[in-house]
Structure 1
Protein backbone atom coordinates (compact mmCIF):
# COMPACT_ATOMS: atom_id res chain seq x y z
CA UNK A 1 0.00 0.00 0.00
CA UNK A 2 1.36 3.41 -0.94
CA UNK A 3 1.02 6.79 0.71
CA UNK A 4 -1.52 9.51 0.07
CA UNK A 5 -0.16 13.02 -0.45
CA UNK A 6 -2.33 16.07 0.26
CA UNK A 7 -1.82 19.47 -1.32
CA UNK A 8 -3.08 22.79 0.02
CA UNK A 9 -2.49 24.94 -3.06
CA UNK A 10 -1.57 28.58 -2.77
CA UNK A 11 -0.30 31.11 -5.29
CA UNK A 12 2.91 31.63 -3.29
CA UNK A 13 3.22 28.45 -1.19
CA UNK A 14 1.89 24.92 -1.20
CA UNK A 15 1.35 23.04 2.03
CA UNK A 16 1.95 19.30 1.90
CA UNK A 17 0.89 16.43 4.14
CA UNK A 18 1.28 12.69 3.76
CA UNK A 19 -0.09 9.51 5.28
CA UNK A 20 1.78 6.64 6.80
CA UNK A 21 2.13 3.51 4.65
CA UNK A 22 -1.11 2.08 6.07
CA UNK A 23 -2.99 5.28 5.11
CA UNK A 24 -4.32 5.72 8.62
CA UNK A 25 -2.68 8.90 9.93
CA UNK A 26 -1.95 12.25 8.27
CA UNK A 27 1.34 14.01 8.99
CA UNK A 28 2.44 17.49 8.03
CA UNK A 29 5.24 17.18 5.50
CA UNK A 30 6.49 20.62 4.49
CA UNK A 31 5.67 23.80 2.61
CA UNK A 32 7.16 24.39 -0.83
CA UNK A 33 7.26 27.55 -2.93
CA UNK A 34 4.67 27.15 -5.68
CA UNK A 35 7.29 27.81 -8.36
CA UNK A 36 9.32 24.82 -7.09
CA UNK A 37 6.52 22.32 -6.47
CA UNK A 38 6.97 20.13 -9.54
CA UNK A 39 10.69 19.71 -8.91
CA UNK A 40 9.91 18.70 -5.33
CA UNK A 41 7.13 16.30 -6.34
CA UNK A 42 9.20 14.69 -9.11
CA UNK A 43 11.68 13.64 -6.43
CA UNK A 44 9.22 12.87 -3.65
CA UNK A 45 6.42 10.91 -5.35
CA UNK A 46 8.44 7.98 -6.73
CA UNK A 47 10.79 7.82 -3.75
CA UNK A 48 7.98 7.69 -1.19
CA UNK A 49 5.59 5.45 -3.18
CA UNK A 50 2.74 7.98 -3.38
CA UNK A 51 -0.31 6.23 -4.83
CA UNK A 52 -2.90 9.02 -4.60
CA UNK A 53 -2.80 12.82 -4.49
CA UNK A 54 -5.56 14.76 -2.71
CA UNK A 55 -5.85 18.43 -3.64
CA UNK A 56 -7.88 20.80 -1.52
CA UNK A 57 -10.99 22.14 -3.21
CA UNK A 58 -11.87 25.63 -1.99
CA UNK A 59 -15.60 26.26 -1.93
CA UNK A 60 -17.79 29.12 -0.85
CA UNK A 61 -20.52 28.71 1.74
CA UNK A 62 -23.12 28.11 -1.00
CA UNK A 63 -21.02 25.19 -2.30
CA UNK A 64 -19.83 27.02 -5.44
CA UNK A 65 -16.16 27.18 -6.41
CA UNK A 66 -14.03 29.80 -4.70
CA UNK A 67 -12.21 32.49 -6.69
CA UNK A 68 -8.91 30.69 -6.06
CA UNK A 69 -10.13 27.71 -8.10
CA UNK A 70 -9.05 29.60 -11.26
CA UNK A 71 -5.44 29.22 -10.07
CA UNK A 72 -5.85 25.59 -9.05
CA UNK A 73 -7.28 24.26 -12.34
CA UNK A 74 -4.11 24.92 -14.40
CA UNK A 75 -2.06 23.40 -11.57
CA UNK A 76 -4.26 20.27 -11.67
CA UNK A 77 -3.80 19.95 -15.44
CA UNK A 78 -0.02 20.14 -15.11
CA UNK A 79 -0.06 17.77 -12.12
CA UNK A 80 -1.99 15.18 -14.16
CA UNK A 81 0.45 15.60 -17.08
CA UNK A 82 3.53 15.17 -14.88
CA UNK A 83 2.16 12.21 -12.89
CA UNK A 84 -0.29 10.41 -15.21
CA UNK A 85 -0.29 7.17 -13.21
CA UNK A 86 -1.18 8.80 -9.88
CA UNK A 87 -4.91 9.40 -9.30
CA UNK A 88 -5.79 12.94 -8.24
CA UNK A 89 -8.76 13.42 -5.90
CA UNK A 90 -10.33 16.68 -4.72
CA UNK A 91 -11.49 17.29 -1.16
CA UNK A 92 -13.41 20.20 0.33
CA UNK A 93 -11.04 22.51 2.18
CA UNK A 94 -13.49 25.00 3.64
CA UNK A 95 -12.38 26.35 7.01
CA UNK A 96 -9.02 24.51 6.99
CA UNK A 97 -7.00 27.73 7.40
CA UNK A 98 -9.13 28.75 10.38
CA UNK A 99 -8.87 25.26 11.83
CA UNK A 100 -5.09 25.32 11.30
CA UNK A 101 -4.80 28.62 13.13
CA UNK A 102 -6.95 27.29 15.97
CA UNK A 103 -4.73 24.20 16.13
CA UNK A 104 -1.73 26.48 16.51
CA UNK A 105 -3.46 28.37 19.32
CA UNK A 106 -4.49 25.16 21.06
CA UNK A 107 -0.96 23.78 20.88
CA UNK A 108 0.41 26.84 22.66
CA UNK A 109 2.49 28.32 19.87
CA UNK A 110 3.76 31.83 20.54
CA UNK A 111 2.36 34.76 18.57
CA UNK A 112 5.44 34.97 16.34
CA UNK A 113 5.16 31.27 15.46
CA UNK A 114 1.44 31.67 14.65
CA UNK A 115 2.31 34.30 12.03
CA UNK A 116 4.27 31.65 10.09
CA UNK A 117 2.04 31.28 7.02
CA UNK A 118 4.06 28.30 5.78
CA UNK A 119 3.18 26.43 8.97
CA UNK A 120 -0.50 27.30 8.52
CA UNK A 121 -0.36 25.89 4.96
CA UNK A 122 1.25 22.66 6.16
CA UNK A 123 -1.28 22.23 8.96
CA UNK A 124 -4.10 22.98 6.49
CA UNK A 125 -2.84 20.22 4.19
CA UNK A 126 -2.78 17.87 7.17
CA UNK A 127 -6.38 18.75 8.06
CA UNK A 128 -7.47 18.21 4.43
CA UNK A 129 -5.79 14.82 4.41
CA UNK A 130 -7.15 13.70 7.77
CA UNK A 131 -10.64 14.75 6.69
CA UNK A 132 -10.22 12.83 3.41
CA UNK A 133 -9.11 9.74 5.32
CA UNK A 134 -12.14 9.91 7.59
CA UNK A 135 -14.53 9.49 4.65
CA UNK A 136 -12.41 7.34 2.32
Structure 2
Protein backbone atom coordinates (compact mmCIF):
# COMPACT_ATOMS: atom_id res chain seq x y z
CA UNK A 1 0.00 0.00 0.00
CA UNK A 2 1.40 3.46 -0.83
CA UNK A 3 2.54 5.68 2.02
CA UNK A 4 0.14 8.30 3.29
CA UNK A 5 1.24 11.90 3.54
CA UNK A 6 -0.32 15.22 4.40
CA UNK A 7 -1.04 17.97 1.88
CA UNK A 8 -0.66 21.70 2.58
CA UNK A 9 -4.31 21.92 3.64
CA UNK A 10 -3.91 19.08 6.15
CA UNK A 11 -5.76 16.40 4.17
CA UNK A 12 -4.22 12.99 3.66
CA UNK A 13 -2.83 12.18 0.24
CA UNK A 14 -1.38 8.95 -1.09
CA UNK A 15 2.20 9.05 -2.26
CA UNK A 16 2.61 7.82 -5.80
CA UNK A 17 4.26 4.43 -5.98
CA UNK A 18 5.89 2.78 -8.93
CA UNK A 19 3.90 0.23 -10.85
CA UNK A 20 5.34 -3.26 -10.83
CA UNK A 21 6.29 -4.59 -14.25
CA UNK A 22 3.61 -6.94 -15.58
CA UNK A 23 6.17 -9.57 -16.67
CA UNK A 24 9.82 -10.01 -15.92
CA UNK A 25 12.58 -12.54 -16.35
CA UNK A 26 14.81 -13.24 -13.36
CA UNK A 27 18.25 -14.78 -13.33
CA UNK A 28 20.14 -16.58 -10.58
CA UNK A 29 23.69 -16.13 -11.87
CA UNK A 30 26.20 -18.95 -11.72
CA UNK A 31 29.43 -19.65 -13.53
CA UNK A 32 28.23 -23.04 -14.88
CA UNK A 33 24.44 -22.61 -14.86
CA UNK A 34 22.18 -19.58 -14.68
CA UNK A 35 18.76 -20.20 -13.18
CA UNK A 36 15.84 -18.54 -14.92
CA UNK A 37 12.30 -17.75 -13.81
CA UNK A 38 9.51 -15.89 -15.51
CA UNK A 39 7.66 -13.61 -13.11
CA UNK A 40 4.14 -12.20 -13.22
CA UNK A 41 3.08 -9.23 -11.12
CA UNK A 42 -0.50 -10.55 -11.08
CA UNK A 43 0.55 -13.53 -8.96
CA UNK A 44 3.74 -12.11 -7.46
CA UNK A 45 5.47 -15.40 -8.20
CA UNK A 46 7.90 -16.90 -10.63
CA UNK A 47 7.73 -20.00 -12.79
CA UNK A 48 10.96 -21.92 -13.27
CA UNK A 49 12.41 -22.17 -16.75
CA UNK A 50 15.20 -24.40 -18.00
CA UNK A 51 18.51 -23.12 -16.61
CA UNK A 52 21.00 -21.69 -19.09
CA UNK A 53 24.38 -23.33 -19.45
CA UNK A 54 27.32 -21.00 -19.01
CA UNK A 55 31.05 -21.25 -19.59
CA UNK A 56 32.86 -19.44 -16.82
CA UNK A 57 29.80 -17.23 -16.34
CA UNK A 58 29.25 -16.47 -20.02
CA UNK A 59 25.78 -17.61 -21.07
CA UNK A 60 24.51 -18.83 -24.39
CA UNK A 61 23.11 -15.47 -25.47
CA UNK A 62 20.95 -17.10 -28.16
CA UNK A 63 19.02 -18.88 -25.38
CA UNK A 64 18.49 -15.60 -23.53
CA UNK A 65 17.42 -13.93 -26.80
CA UNK A 66 14.83 -16.69 -27.29
CA UNK A 67 13.57 -16.37 -23.69
CA UNK A 68 13.12 -12.63 -24.10
CA UNK A 69 11.36 -13.15 -27.41
CA UNK A 70 9.01 -15.76 -25.87
CA UNK A 71 8.32 -14.04 -22.54
CA UNK A 72 8.39 -10.42 -23.76
CA UNK A 73 9.33 -9.16 -20.30
CA UNK A 74 8.96 -5.54 -19.26
CA UNK A 75 12.04 -5.79 -17.00
CA UNK A 76 14.92 -8.09 -16.13
CA UNK A 77 16.03 -9.05 -12.64
CA UNK A 78 19.37 -10.46 -11.52
CA UNK A 79 19.98 -11.89 -8.07
CA UNK A 80 22.57 -10.05 -6.00
CA UNK A 81 24.49 -12.68 -3.99
CA UNK A 82 25.60 -10.73 -0.93
CA UNK A 83 27.49 -12.08 2.04
CA UNK A 84 25.43 -12.54 5.19
CA UNK A 85 26.79 -9.24 6.58
CA UNK A 86 25.52 -7.40 3.47
CA UNK A 87 28.92 -6.93 1.83
CA UNK A 88 29.57 -7.81 -1.80
CA UNK A 89 30.56 -11.42 -2.42
CA UNK A 90 33.10 -12.70 -4.94
CA UNK A 91 30.35 -14.14 -7.16
CA UNK A 92 28.41 -10.90 -6.67
CA UNK A 93 30.95 -9.00 -8.75
CA UNK A 94 30.45 -11.48 -11.58
CA UNK A 95 26.66 -11.31 -11.22
CA UNK A 96 26.87 -7.50 -11.52
CA UNK A 97 28.96 -7.89 -14.68
CA UNK A 98 26.27 -10.22 -16.07
CA UNK A 99 23.55 -7.68 -15.15
CA UNK A 100 25.48 -4.93 -16.93
CA UNK A 101 25.81 -7.11 -20.01
CA UNK A 102 22.05 -7.69 -19.99
CA UNK A 103 21.48 -3.93 -19.73
CA UNK A 104 23.82 -3.26 -22.65
CA UNK A 105 22.36 -6.05 -24.81
CA UNK A 106 18.70 -5.16 -24.11
CA UNK A 107 18.71 -1.37 -23.59
CA UNK A 108 14.91 -1.10 -23.80
CA UNK A 109 14.51 -3.27 -20.68
CA UNK A 110 15.35 -1.96 -17.23
CA UNK A 111 17.61 -4.35 -15.31
CA UNK A 112 17.27 -4.50 -11.53
CA UNK A 113 19.12 -6.49 -8.87
CA UNK A 114 17.61 -8.15 -5.81
CA UNK A 115 19.25 -9.44 -2.65
CA UNK A 116 19.32 -13.20 -2.95
CA UNK A 117 20.86 -14.24 0.37
CA UNK A 118 19.72 -17.73 1.36
CA UNK A 119 17.65 -18.32 -1.79
CA UNK A 120 19.65 -21.42 -2.76
CA UNK A 121 19.17 -22.90 0.69
CA UNK A 122 15.44 -22.07 0.61
CA UNK A 123 15.18 -23.51 -2.92
CA UNK A 124 16.83 -26.74 -1.77
CA UNK A 125 14.31 -27.02 1.10
CA UNK A 126 11.39 -26.25 -1.23
CA UNK A 127 12.46 -28.90 -3.71
CA UNK A 128 12.96 -31.43 -0.92
CA UNK A 129 9.42 -30.78 0.35
CA UNK A 130 7.94 -31.03 -3.15
CA UNK A 131 9.83 -34.25 -3.84
CA UNK A 132 8.51 -35.83 -0.62
CA UNK A 133 4.93 -34.87 -1.50
CA UNK A 134 4.89 -35.53 -5.24
CA UNK A 135 8.06 -37.26 -6.33
CA UNK A 136 8.80 -37.15 -10.03
CA UNK A 137 10.85 -34.64 -11.99
CA UNK A 138 11.65 -31.41 -10.19
CA UNK A 139 12.65 -28.02 -11.56
CA UNK A 140 16.33 -27.14 -11.31
CA UNK A 141 17.71 -25.79 -8.05
CA UNK A 142 19.02 -22.72 -9.89
CA UNK A 143 15.67 -21.88 -11.50
CA UNK A 144 13.83 -22.52 -8.23
CA UNK A 145 16.18 -20.00 -6.59
CA UNK A 146 15.33 -17.57 -9.43
CA UNK A 147 11.63 -18.04 -8.54
CA UNK A 148 12.39 -17.04 -4.95
CA UNK A 149 14.26 -13.97 -6.21
CA UNK A 150 11.15 -13.03 -8.23
CA UNK A 151 8.85 -13.44 -5.23
CA UNK A 152 11.09 -11.38 -2.96
CA UNK A 153 11.35 -8.61 -5.57
CA UNK A 154 7.58 -8.42 -6.08
CA UNK A 155 7.18 -8.29 -2.29
CA UNK A 156 9.84 -5.63 -1.77
CA UNK A 157 11.20 -4.30 -5.08
CA UNK A 158 14.61 -2.70 -5.38
CA UNK A 159 14.05 -0.03 -8.01
CA UNK A 160 17.75 0.79 -8.41
CA UNK A 161 18.62 0.10 -12.04
CA UNK A 162 21.89 -1.41 -13.19
- Fold match (TM-score > 0.5): yes
**TM-score under structure 2 length normalisation:** 0.72
Q: How far did residue 11 of structure 1 move?
A: 0.3
Separation of aligned partners in 2, 1:53 and 1:47: 14
Larger RCO (alpha carbons 8 Å, 6+ apart): 1
Structure 1 length-normalised TM: 0.85
Give the ranges of 4+ consecutive aligned residues of structure 1 lying more than 6 Å apart after TM superposition.
none
Higher Cα radius of gyration: 2
- CA shift at 1:23, angstroms? 5.7
**What is aligned with 2:34?**
14
Stretch deviating more after TM superposition (26-35 or 2-11): 26-35
* Alignment match, 1:122: 143
What RMSD, in angstroms, separates the aligned Cα atoms of the two structures? 2.4
Structure-1 residue corresponding to 2:15:
none
The structure with the greater share of residues assigned to helix is 1
Residues 73 and 67 (structure 1), Cα distance of their counterparts in 2 relative to 1, 3 Å cut: same
SS of the aligned residue for 2:51 comes to: strand
